[in-house]
Structure 1
Amino acid sequence: MSPKFIIIANPENRRISFLQQALEKFNLSPATVIPYADLISEKEQLNRFNSPNHIIRFDSPERNFETEKAVLAMGANFPGNHKRISKKDLVNLEFDKGRIRYPRQWYLGWKHLLQQWEKQIQCRVMNSPTDIITMFDKPASHQLFVDNKIPVARSLGKINSYEQLREAMQFQNCSRVFVKLANGSSASGIVAYQIHPRGESAITTVERVRENGETLLYNSRRIRHYTKPKEIADIINILCNESVQVEEWLPKARINNRPFDLRVVVIAGEAQHLVMRIGKSPMTNLHLGSDRDNFDTFISIVGQSNWSEMKQTCEAVAAVFPHSLYCGIDLLVYPDLQRHSIIEINAFGDLIPGTTYQGVDTYTSEVKAMLEQIN
């Protein structure tokens, strides 16, 4: 029987077309598209795909406000100190572009849904829901890497407030840290914070807005630089309330006096596609205006032997998630161009259009690897 792919995604997501194009290259029928909205509302059930020739792919639930609200509704009743919104109030929640709202509640809803869907699945998956849950949990994945002796930045432990962060930094002799939403993605709610003799500063993707006596946080593509302690404390306290991962801010290698790191996609255990992300700030995400460069440029800078060690580390990271075909890994290279560290792992980090490995894009390589596993 010919393999049949099922992709779970928001219908307008361009990731769907990349998968369909990849399938066409192998003369396979187009993937069945299951909208997240239909799955969440139980209009669709995954247990109808119980044939051995079916292959399910979960893709990013991004950029769809109705899906976002449906996931939030699923997380409404989970306890915690995070800010929450009830199912009743969600009905009237209006779209507010870039607003950082209820990220912890969203993750708890997302986790619950993935756990329920995994119980329905009786066929192959490209990435297992359990692995996706952990990849979305920065503290959990960081601890997994530590347990598996994978190089990562030092964690400062559980941080619940700005004051606790300052104390932990002093106690652990650490003057520069990254504060990240524990369940964030795409640099949402990330702060590069440092204490120096002249005071303190926070370089961040967060725009702080005061409205009717309340602080609202927005994701911004324009990097913000805060130096007033009151404003910094306000931002960090709000983020901490949603759960954060705090790590030592490691120095990055530079090219043309600009910091760079790497996005590496590991497919079927092999580190394949690679893109250099050359930043204008400590945050190098491409959507923030960073420049990109390719594998050849990177090798000319670090050398083949250093890359071989980095490649092995990326593959060791992927091996921690044996039930997932692929993952995107953010890799930091130290200024000495030899040492390296894993920044984080991304469940949906394979979207790097225009980057090829052995002449093919990530989606084509993933389909090829899946077919090889079947055969």
Structure 2
Amino acid sequence: MSERFSFELKATDGVARTGVISTPRGAICTPAFMPVGTAGTVKAMMPESVRETGADILLGNTYHLMLRPGADRIERLGGLHRFMNWPRPILTDSGGFQVMSLAGLRKLTEHGVTFKSHIDGSKHELTPERSMEVQRLLGSDIVMCFDECPALPATEAAVAESMRLSMRWAARSKDAFGDRPGHALFGIMQGGVTRDLREESAEALREIGFDGYAIGGLAVGEGQAAMFGVLDYATGFLPEDRPRYLMGVGKPDDIVGAVKRGVDMMDCVLPSRSGRTGQVFTRRGVVNIKNARHADDPRPLDELCGCPACRNYSRAYLHHVFRSHEIISSMLLTWHNLHYFQEIMAGMRDAIAEGRFAAWEEEFHATRAIGDIEPV
């Protein structure tokens, strides 16, 4: 295992890339999908089950963990890896997005953000320095800069002002992060859907210098076409020898389109959240297990899938336990969704390495277009 953080590009096919991120806690094969463990758990999953799906890395949430149970407490108990029983790499977000979207009565200044907790109304402050401190206490392997996520829609002037504030905060984050061998700090590109602002942001981040670079401010309601339009040029503004992380994405076709445009890492709550609400992702599209058509169906969700939900249970059973609000429903459907997402990632890694990504992508879309199997 590497004692330092590094990234090795193994192969490219068009703009799509495959490689390996090395960390002291293990390797991350890219392109990588990171399941979200917001409060120290991927909901409805045991850590070893998450690993069985093929995940190399999880995402933890700075905002939620600093409010409950508290970063100091997690450090006293041995750090986030030990606390949640996940010995492999963890990436923590900076808390910026949650402050903007969840916290009440927030006040934004050049210094940082003061806000009231959505849990108990207690007052807190997050600055670049405090975000770095909290993420250090958690012990995450990949730390994200503290940035501002402007609410959309916003004027171009407002997006520009927000982006420049984020770049000043990025420099402060880098200073506060300091020298931490084995840990990495990622900068976050902002700039909305405006090419000049994205380029200005990327130049500012490259000048500061980071171990990896994220593309923020997308998947926030602008639509897939606009997101892909930004990715068509945004990845090219970032260094080739560093990982590129698209934050908060997404649906299976979003993920494939992002990888096609040069993205290496993604995260999203979708596979776990959808599993809990009865929405299942399969190679033939989305299945809603709550629908009555599944009540007498003895077949698996996906006969080609090797996850426990598909190996051991019928659609009829999965329909029954979902409609009965049984906990096993969330467990099995989340496992299946995470397994499917990781299967997509493995398929893309192999296809890129073998120079057949375009053919793989065509088959992926063609199979999804067929739609679900006919009802019994």
* TM-score class, shorter: under 0.3
More helix, by proportion: 2
More strand, by proportion: 1
**How does the TM-score come out when normalised to structure 2?**
0.26
Q: RCO (CA 8 Å, sep 6+): is it higher in 1 or 2?
A: 2
**How does the TM-score come out when normalised to structure 1?**
0.26
